[in-house]
Structure 1
Amino acid sequence: MPKRRQGGSFQGSETLKDRIPAGHLVGMETVCDQDQEACLAREEVEEQEEDSEVEEEEEEEELFAEELETKEETKPLEKAAAWEPSVYSVLGKEQHYFVGHNINIYESLDSYGAIVWPAAVALCHFLDNNRKQINLQDKWVLEIGAGTGLLSIVACLLGAWVTATDIPDVLGNLRSNVYRNTRGHCRYTPQVAPLCWEQDLEQTYPRSTYHYDYVLAADVVYHHNFLDELLLTMRHFCQPGTTLIWANKVRFESDLRFTENFKRTFNTTLLTELPEDEVKIFMATSRE
């Protein structure tokens, strides 16, 4: 919240008045009165701005609560109760600025999928700054392992028709973040849906029906035991005509092994590398 500037008024000393001709004092008193009025007017405007900021924050909190309460009405394909973050007091909101918009992301320590990871931020920067190279306008985009939804939000703001997916446990927070930050700002309404890697993919997402222009993934490779399932899921969605963009921060030896398997599976290009963050962004297409 911006600090309020303190207004003041002119206060002349008796000694100063004694030195100024009486005719000039009238003019100075008029100027002092104008200064006081200007300061009061400025303070009033600043108080109104502060009140407006407080109201916006309160409206945002109310909207977040309402969306969590109504999540059952908008769940696609989901049967299990959606996870809701429970430790906002620890992490609270993380703020980002992409595509000319302030993006507020709620995080929690309850799950890996409830935290904004470095590769997601890096990929958001890349997409925002390379719109001619990767044009998402009017494109069908799928994000796998969407987590908090930051990347899906940016893709949506860039004009894409986005489906953000993750395991059912994190959909509550994902849905709230996505809807709150895109409502009224995007050409297309984003979709949020459950997706468990490699489980019944052809039944839930048949290739004949679900064809995307772009598949996005960021920091989906970390210390877990589902790397084979992740690669199979990438292969399922990366059909001929689809471009897969994967950003990853190298943390473990398993990251390097997955990268080698990724390169053997797809035709790959290294779009950019951020050595200071240990993040690489790859573009891949099907070999079929």
Structure 2
Amino acid sequence: MDMCLSSEQRPKHLVEGPSSPDGWLEAEKEKTLQKDGASGPSGDFNKIEPSLHSLQEFVPTNYASYTQENYLFAGKEIVMQESIESYGAVVWPGAMALCQYLEKHTEELNLQDAKILEIGAGPGLVSTVASILGAQVTATDMPDVLGNLQYNLLRNTLNCTTHLPEVRELVWGEGLEQNFPKSTFYYDYILASDVVYHHYFLDKLLTTMEYLCQPGTVLLWANKFRFSADYEFLEKFKQVFDTTFLAEFPESTVKIFKGTRKWD
């Protein structure tokens, strides 16, 4: 089985909060510096690619307990740090289905070097798989989720993917033009999984999806349909996007759709 990190490098089960992720991150940072010829932690940090700097900005939330869950996608063992104390720290069925779809359609989707943004990345499984498949990934979520997200991305992609994924804050419907100006940010794919459920921000979610999709951008949305509101969102989604039904996973009631924004 192909793995990015050796058993010595992979963090152990975390119960003590954010100190262990920080310690692991510092160790990996020092290894990267030494590999690049720097003298150690006080060396030239400009030798590390810029996206690593952004990944270091966040600290995992200090939940009472974390669990370590193992997944196998794209020929890699992926270890996710999860916590049932937060919706954003758990891998949901839609993420599993979308990972399966990505690995089975890698060449068709042309993911190598593709620019991808994931909305509501949670613990980061989908972004990790997309990175392993060769994409340039930006993983986004709410501020309290970003620490655990960056930790999972680093532990599974550092030094073993073509592009190190970036983590950015994205609050649906807020600061879109300021934080993601269209003149600077263009994405080949927008990914979203299980972002539609019983909450009060569906209109802001649709606004965010619409904003991020420029001409040529493809949105892949996987969702476990649970409530009538999910189907109502789908109807609104179809008003904004030319929508294609791609796949269904009956065992988990997850459906995957492709959307391309309608232009007048």
Superposition TM-score, scaled by structure 1 size: 0.74
- Of 181, 192, 197 in structure 2, the residue corresponding to residue 206 of structure 1 is 181
Q: Distance in 1 between matches of 2:64 and 2:197?
A: 23
Q: Which residue of 2 aligns with 1:118?
A: 93
Contact 1:88 / 1:108 at 8 angstroms: preserved in 2? Answer: yes
Which amino acid letter does the alignment assign opposite residue 88 of structure 1?
A: S
CA displacement, residues 189-243 of structure 1 (integer Å, 9 cap, x when unaligned): 1101100001010011111211100000000111110000000000001111100
Q: Which residue of 2 aligns with 1:24?
A: none
Unaligned runs of 5+ in 1: 1-54
RMSD of Structure 2 on Structure 1 (CA): 2.4
Contact 1:113 / 1:170 at 8 angstroms: preserved in 2? Answer: yes
CA displacement, residues 89-110 of structure 1 (integer Å, 9 cap, x when unaligned): 5xx1111001111000010122
Which amino acid letter does the alignment assign opposite residue 170 of structure 1?
A: V
Per the alignment, do residues 69 and 183 of structure 1 end up closer, same or farther by CA in structure 2, a change over 3 Å counting? closer
Q: Which residue of 2 aligns with 1:95?
A: 70
Select the structure with the greater relative contact order (CA < 8 A; seq sep ≥ 6): 2
Q: Distance in 2 between matches of 1:254 and 1:64?
A: 38
TM-fit CA distance, 1:68: 6.6
Unaligned runs of 5+ in 2: 1-5, 13-18, 30-51
Q: Which residue of 2 aligns with 1:273?
A: 248
Q: Which residue of 2 aligns with 1:245?
A: 220
Contact 1:239 / 1:286 at 8 angstroms: preserved in 2? Answer: yes
TM-fit CA distance, 1:133: 2.2
TM-fit CA distance, 1:85: 4.5
TM-fit CA distance, 1:160: 0.3
Per the alignment, do residues 221 and 162 of structure 1 end up closer, same or farther by CA in structure 2, a change over 3 Å counting? same
Contact 2:22 / 2:59 at 8 angstroms: preserved in 1? Answer: no
Q: Distance in 1 between matches of 2:243 and 2:10?
A: 45
TM-fit CA distance, 1:252: 1.1
SS at match of 1:93: strand
Q: Which residue of 2 aligns with 1:219?
A: 194
Contact 2:54 / 2:166 at 8 angstroms: preserved in 1? Answer: no
Contact 2:10 / 2:155 at 8 angstroms: preserved in 1? Answer: no
SS at match of 1:152: helix
Contact 1:83 / 1:168 at 8 angstroms: preserved in 2? Answer: no
Q: Distance in 1 between matches of 2:255 and 2:62?
A: 29
Q: Which residue of 2 aligns with 1:172?
A: 147
- Of 114, 137, 140 in structure 1, the residue corresponding to residue 112 of structure 2 is 137
- Of 42, 47, 64 in structure 1, the residue corresponding to residue 21 of structure 2 is 64
- The answer as to 2:61 corresponding to 1:84 is yes
Which amino acid letter does the alignment assign opposite residue 87 of structure 1?
A: A
